Amino acid sequence: MTLVTATKRSAPGAPRAGGRRRATDRGAWFLVLPALIPILVLSVGPLLYGILLAFTDSQSGRTEPTEWVGGLNFQDLLHDTLFWESFRIGLVWAVGVTVPQFLLALGLALLLDQELRLRWLARALAIIPWAMPEVVVGVMWRLVYTPDAGVLNETLRDLGLGDGRDWLSGLGTALPAVIVVGVWAGMPQTTVALLAGLQNTPRELHEAAAMDGAGAWRRFWTVTWPALRPVALAVTALNFIWNVNSFALVYVLTSGGPGGRTRLPMLFAYEEAFRYGQFGYAAAMGCVMVAVISVLLALFLVGRLRGGDET
């Protein structure tokens, strides 16, 4: 109480229309600064620093000073077939996770938007993967995929679908297997966002359309989808970026194996930087990833936005 009165006295008089504007501006700076400094030092700064590093020969634990090498790292990257292979795998992974993630989450969100019994249970369960540490998600699915003690092979045996296999170390099955995990892990956020979007679609329009005899499919395309579109676009774009940045899941599941079949670009760059100490080269990889992904996203968003009439 005393503190409040003291501060009140130190700021004499209730703020009035005239002098208020300046005061709030100065007050705003004071309020913003504590967040602004860490953002600049630990987020914006490192990003710019990282881009600069890509043009140097920076290495870990080297005594000679780091030097500018211009575009040398990028020239090397151009001929680095391992990197481009990893990049291709990363794209397959990101698209392979993002698309099913969206479709499955949309289905679930539509169901959760209905007046169904057990909806509360489904809502709670749908969110569980979100709350789990990624490492634990990876561990969990390792247990599912384990050849002998795993539930997947056992279920296949029970259903008479053969003996199953070692999913995570098979050359052909490893990438699809980790993609399934990626879909599972990312569904909650997508579902929650889409559900929020659904609940903002105008009910009256729905009812009017139903009165006019529009079927469920028709109603979805004419009423629900136009309202959901912006959310769907934003979520898909974000999911794509998150999936490109994915690391922990695959690190725990396969560490990039077998034979590099699941070595996502993030794992590749991580090894390059922190196992082999090639900071400059790894930073160049980061730059290339950003550039390619920005272009892809821009194409996607522009294409999608053009496709709609109103947005």
Partner 1 sequence: MRTSTGGRVGQYAALLAYLVFLAFPFLWLLSTAFKSPRELGSPHPAWIPRDPTLDNFRQAFDEQPLLRAAGNSLLAALGAALIAVLIATPLAYVMARHRTRLGKAATGWVVVSQAFPLVLVIIPLFLVLKNLRLINSLAGLVMVYVVWALPFALWMLVGYVRAVPAELEEAAAVDGAGRVRTLVSVTAPLLAPGIVATGLFAFITAWNEFFFALVLLKTPEKQTLPVVLTHFIGAEGVADLGPLAAAAFLATLPSLVVFAIIQRRITGGMTAGAVRG
189-248: contacts with partner 1 (CB under 8 A)? 192-193, 195-197, 199-200, 210, 216, 231, 238, 241-242, 244-245, 247-248
State CA 165 to chain mean position distance: 30
302 belongs to the binding site for partner 1 (CB under 8 A): no
252 scored as a contact of partner 1 (CB under 8 A): yes
CB 223 within 8 A of CB 232: no
Six-digit token string for 7: 């501060």
Is residue 140 a contact partner of residue 184, using CB atoms and an 8 Å limit?
Answer: no
166 touches partner 1 (CB under 8 A): no
Near partner 1 in 117-146, by CB under 8 A: 118, 121-122, 124-137, 139-144, 146
- b vs e for 263-299, b when ≥16 Cβ sit within 10 Å of the residue's Cβ? bbbbbbbebbbeeeebbbbbbbbbbbbeeebeebbee
The only residue of 18, 22, 81, 115 in contact with partner 1, by rule CB under 8 A:
115
- Footprint of partner 1 on 71-110 (CB under 8 A): 104, 107-108
Q: Which of 59, 72, 74, 169 binds partner 1 (CB under 8 A)?
A: 169
Does residue 308 interact with partner 1 by CB under 8 A?
A: no
Q: Which of 92, 95, 233, 287 binds partner 1 (CB under 8 A)?
A: 287
What is the CB-side half-sphere exposure of residue 127 using CA atoms within 13 A?
Answer: 9
Sign of the torsion formed by the C-alpha atoms of 257, 258, 260 and 265: negative
> Near partner 1 by CB under 8 A, which window of 74-82, 151-159, 171-179, 303-311?
151-159
**Nearest distance from residue 25's CB to partner 1, in Å?**
7
Number of helices (H) and strands (E), helices first, in the chain? Answer: 15, 0
Binding string, residues 30-69; x marks residues near partner 1 by CB under 8 A: xxx-xxx-xx-xxxxxxx-xxx-x----x-----------
User: Least separation, in Å, of the C-beta of 102 and partner 1?
Assistant: 15
From the list 170-178, 220-228, 289-297, 299-307, the region that binds partner 1 by CB under 8 A is 289-297
CA distance 241 to 93: 11
**CA-based torsion, 295, 301, 304, 305: positive or negative:** negative
Member of 67, 75, 154, 299 binding partner 1 (CB under 8 A)? 154
DSSP state string for 169-193: GSTTTHHHHHHHHHHHHHHHHHHHH
Minimum CB separation of residue 308 from partner 1 in Å reads 18
Q: State the minimum distance, in angstroms, from the CB of residue 253 to partner 1.
A: 10
Q: Work out whether 255 is an interface residue with partner 1 (CB under 8 A).
A: yes
- Give the total of residues touching partner 1 (CB under 8 A): 111
266 binds partner 1 (CB under 8 A): yes
Structure tokens, 308:
């709609």
Sequence-ordered list of residues with C-beta below 8 angstroms from that of 301, at least 6 positions apart, any chain: 233, 237
CB of 75 to partner 1, least distance (A): 19
The residues, ordered by sequence, that sit 6+ positions from 227 with a Cβ below 8 Å of its Cβ are 197, 200, 201, 202
Query: Is the CB of 72 or the CB of 104 nearer to partner 1?
Result: 104
